[in-house]
Amino acid sequence: MNTATNSRTGRLNGKVALITGAGPGLGGVIATAMAHEGARLVICDINPEALKTVAAQLAEMGAEHLAVCCDVSDSAAVDAMFAQAVQRFGTVDILVNNAARLPSSPAETERRNKHYAYATTSIPRQSLGIVSSLSDDDWLKWWGVNMHGVFYCTRAALRLMEPQRSGKIINIASIAGLSTGSMHSPGYSATKAGVISLTKTAAYDVAGANVYVNAIACGGVMTPPFEAYLATATEQQKNSLFQMMPLGRLGTPQEYASLAIYLASDEHYLVGQVISPNGGMVI
Ligand X SMILES: NC(=O)c1ccc[n+]([C@@H]2O[C@H](COP(=O)([O-])OP(=O)(O)OC[C@H]3O[C@@H](n4cnc5c(N)ncnc54)[C@H](O)[C@@H]3O)[C@@H](O)[C@H]2O)c1
Q: Which is nearer to ligand X, 8 or 44 (CB)?
A: 44
Rule CB under 6 A: choose which of 98, 185, 199, 237 binds ligand X.
98
Rule CB under 6 A: choose which of 43, 50, 66, 153 binds ligand X.
50
* Among 2-10, 22-30, 80-88, 133-141, the segment contacting ligand X (CB under 6 A): 22-30
* Among 31-39, 114-122, 129-137, 214-222, the segment contacting ligand X (CB under 6 A): 214-222
Q: Is 223 in the site for ligand X (CB under 6 A)?
A: yes
Q: Give the number of other Cβ atoms within 10 Å of residue 185's Cβ.
A: 26
The residues, ordered by sequence, that sit 6+ positions from 232 with a Cβ below 8 Å of its Cβ are 109
Q: Which is nearer to ligand X, 149 or 272 (CB)?
A: 149
Rule CB under 6 A: choose which of 167, 194, 220, 279 binds ligand X.
220
Phi/psi at 67 (5° precision): -105, 125
Residue 231 CA to residue 253 CA, distance in Å, equals 18
Q: How far is the CB of 175 from ligand X (least distance, A)?
A: 7
Rule CB under 6 A: choose which of 23, 167, 272, 279 binds ligand X.
23
Cβ–Cβ under 8 Å, residues 254 and 179: no
Q: How far is the CB of 193 from ligand X (least distance, A)?
A: 12
Distances (CA, A) of 140 to 79, 134, 145, 146, 194: 23, 10, 10, 11, 14
The residues, ordered by sequence, that sit 6+ positions from 169 with a Cβ below 8 Å of its Cβ are 94, 95, 97, 154, 157, 158, 161, 202, 211, 212, 213, 214
Q: How far is the CB of 87 from ligand X (least distance, A)?
A: 20
Q: Which residues pair with 216 in a beta bridge?
A: 172, 275
* Among 32-40, 41-49, 115-123, 259-267, the segment contacting ligand X (CB under 6 A): 41-49
Q: How far is the CB of 251 from ligand X (least distance, A)?
A: 8
Which of 63, 57, 61, 31 lies closest to 44, judged by CA?
31
Q: Is 172 in the site for ligand X (CB under 6 A)?
A: yes
Active site residue 188: yes
* Among 66-74, 87-95, 122-130, 198-206, the segment contacting ligand X (CB under 6 A): 66-74
Q: Is 27 in the site for ligand X (CB under 6 A)?
A: yes
Q: Which of residues 106-135 bind ligand X (CB under 6 A)?
A: none
The residues, ordered by sequence, that sit 6+ positions from 14 with a Cβ below 8 Å of its Cβ are 38, 39, 40
Phi/psi at 128 (5° precision): -85, -10
Which one-letter DSSP state was computed for residue 18? Answer: E
Residue 240 CA to residue 151 CA, distance in Å, equals 35
- Among residues 116, 152, 188, 256, the one annotated as catalytic is 188
Q: Which residues pair with 170 in a beta bridge?
A: 96, 214
Q: Is 47 in the site for ligand X (CB under 6 A)?
A: yes
Vertex 20: Cα angle to 276 and 92 (nearest 5): 100
Q: Site residues (CB under 6 A) for ligand X?
A: 20-21, 23, 25-27, 44-47, 50, 70-73, 98-102, 145, 149, 172, 174, 218, 220-221, 223-226
**Mind telling me the catalytic residues?**
188
